[in-house]
Amino acid sequence: MQNILSVQSLTKKFDDLTAVNNISFNVEAGSIFAFLGPNGAGKSTTIKMLTTVLKPTSGEISINGFNALKEQDKARASFGIVFQDHSLDEELTGYENVVYHAVIYKVPKKERAERIQKALEIVGLWDRREDYVKKYSGGMKRRLEIARALVHYPKILFLDEPTVGLDPQTRRSIWDHIRDLNKERKMTIFLTTHYMEEAEAIADQIAIIDHGKIVESGTVEEIKKRTESESLEEAFLKLTGRHIRDENNGPSNKTGMRGRGRRSRH
Amino acid sequence: MIEVIYILCLRQLKHYWRSKARLIGSLGQPLLFLVAFGYGIGPMYTTARGGGNYIDFLVPGIVAMSILFTAVFSGLEVIWDRQFGFLKETLVAPISRTEIMIGKTLGGAVIAMIQGLIVLSLSYVLGFRIPSLSSLGLGLIFMFLIAIFFSGLGLTIASKMKDLHGFQLIINFLIMPIFFLSGALFPLENLPPAIYFISRLDPLTYGVDGLRGAIAGMSTFGVYNDLAVIGALSVLVCAIGTVLFSEIEA
C-alpha cells in the first residue's frame, strides 16, 4: 500500500520543553489511523505541525506526496481538518460557513453548490443550513465542521478528538459518517481520541505517543498481543502508566498559541 | 485570488451589517463630538480666528475619527477570530498570507468607509456642505486611504497579539493620542513646539489635513503633500503587515 502521510524524525521544541521528540511514522492511503496518547503527550502539537499551522523544529512531513514544509499550499489542499476546539464563525449561518470554506479552498464555482449540499446532507444539516451557527448544539457544530472539511474533497481527513463532549447518539452518528467516508470515498482518516473503545472499534492502525515519543504502534491486535492485554485501554494504561497528567504543562499553553489556552486538551 | 479576497471582505461586511447594536453604537461618539464640540467650541473658534465656521473645520476631523476607530477595530477583530478558533480555519487553507492580509485590510477599510460616509451624511443636517463633486471625489480618496492605513495598522498589531489583554493599552496609548494630536479637533498652528512636533509624526494628521483641504477647503500642508504622505504610509503599513502576517501561527 502507498503511504499518504509520511513523517520522518519530526521534532518540536518550545524553549526548554521538547513536546515532540524525533517521531517517525507512515499512514497508508485508505486506512483509518488512530493517534493516541495521554494529555500533554504531544498529540495536538503533532497535528498542528502535520496541518502546517505550526513549524517543526526539525524533521520532514510528506502529505499526498507534497512536502508540507515547502509545498504548503498543495499539502493544505490535500487534507481536511476538524480541530479539537470549535473553529466556526458563529455569526454566520451554517451554509455561509461552508461557502467560505469552499471559496478559500478554491472549489470550482460550478461544482460549489452541489458539493456543499451533498456535504451538508451527509451530516444531516441541510435543513438547518440557514440557521446561525450560534444557535446550533455542540453536536451540530461538530457535524458542520466535518461537513465543511469534506467540501474540497480532501485525500486525508484529520480529526482531533472529534467526539469529545458529545452524547452517545451523536458520537455514534459521527463515527458512522467517518466510517462511510473511509469506505465509500477511500478517504484516509487520521484521528485522535481519548475513548479507547472508539479507537479499538474503528482504527486499522494505531500509534501511541507519550512524552513526545511513539511508544507503540501497529494494529489493535498486535498491540494487545505485545502488551498481553485484554483491551486497547488496558494496553494504553500499561504503556503510558496510571498517573494523571497535568494538562497545563502541555506545550500549547507554554507558547500561548491558543489564546487563553487553559481549557485546551491534548 | 479575487474571489478569496471578496469572501474575506464579505464575511466582515456581514458581521458589521448584522450587528446593528455595534453599527448604531459606533455612530454615537462622532455625533456627540459633532454636536458638543460644534456648538460648544464653535463660538470660541469664530471669535479667536476672527471669523470662520467651526463646523466646517470640525466635520472632516470627526469623519476621520470615525474611520480611524472603525478601521482599527476591524483590524483587531483578528484577535477575536483567534480566540474563537476561526483564525485556524483560514490559516490552514491553501491560500497565501498576502491574500488574507489584503482581504482583511480591504474588508476593514470598506466598513470604515461606510461608517465615514454615514457620519458625513449626518453632518449635512448640521449645515455642512461640500462645495463640489470633484472635492467630494478627492475627499473619498482621502477617506479610503485613512481607512486602508488604519485597517492595515490594526491587522499588523493583531498579528502580534495573542489575546485581548493589550487592547486597552493600544486604545489609550496609541489610538487616542493619534486622534487627539491629529488636528481633528483644533488647528495645529500656534501649538507649543513639542505638541506640534508630535502631531507632525502622527499619520492621521495628514489624513485629516488632506480631507479638510478636499471637502472644506482648509489645509495646512497642501492637499497633494497630504496625499503623498498618507498614500505612502498606507503602502508601507500593508507591506509590514503582510510580512508579520506571514509568520502568524494559529
Answer yes or no: is A79 within a domain: yes
Q: Is B176 left (phi over 0), alpha (psi -120 to 50) or beta?
A: alpha
Strands (E) located in chain B: none
Answer yes or no: is A98 within a domain: no
Spans of chain B below 50 pLDDT:
none
Separation of alpha carbons B189 and A202, rounded Å? 75
The whole-number pLDDT of residue B250 equals 63
Residues A158 and A47: beta-carbon distance below 8 Å: yes
CATH of the domain at A164: 3.40.50.300
- For the stretch A6-16, pLDDT in tens is 999 999 999 88
Domain containing A49 equals 3-87+155-263
Looking at this protein, which amino acid is placed at residue A25? F
Answer yes or no: is A104 within a domain: no
Answer yes or no: is A103 within a domain: no
Nearest to A87 among B7, B18, B88 (CB): B88
Residues B210 and B51: beta-carbon distance below 8 Å: no
The whole-number pLDDT of residue A248 equals 53
The whole-number pLDDT of residue B52 equals 86
Overall domain count for chain A:
1
Nearest to B162 among A54, A73, A256 (CB): A256
Sequence ranges of the domains in chain B: 2-246
SS3 A108: coil
The whole-number pLDDT of residue A251 equals 45
The C-alpha of A148 sits at a distance from chain B's nearest C-alpha, in angstroms, of 10
CB contact under 8 A, A74 and B94: yes
Provide the 10 A C-beta neighbour count for residue A179: 14
Spans of chain A below 50 pLDDT:
249-266
Beta strand A58-63 with A66-67: parallel, antiparallel or unpaired? antiparallel
Burial B5-17 (b: 16+ CB within 10 A, else e): bebbbbbbebbbe
The whole-number pLDDT of residue A1 equals 63
The C-alpha of B21 sits at a distance from chain A's nearest C-alpha, in angstroms, of 14
Burial A63-77 (b: 16+ CB within 10 A, else e): bbebebeebbeebbb
Which residue, among A84, A87, A116, A252, would best test binding to B if mutated, counting the most B CBs under 10 Å from its CB? A87
Q: What is the count of residue pairs from A and B with beta carbons less than 8 Å apart?
A: 82
Answer yes or no: is A122 within a domain: no
CB contact under 8 A, A86 and B85: yes
CB contact under 8 A, B88 and A257: no
The whole-number pLDDT of residue A253 equals 42
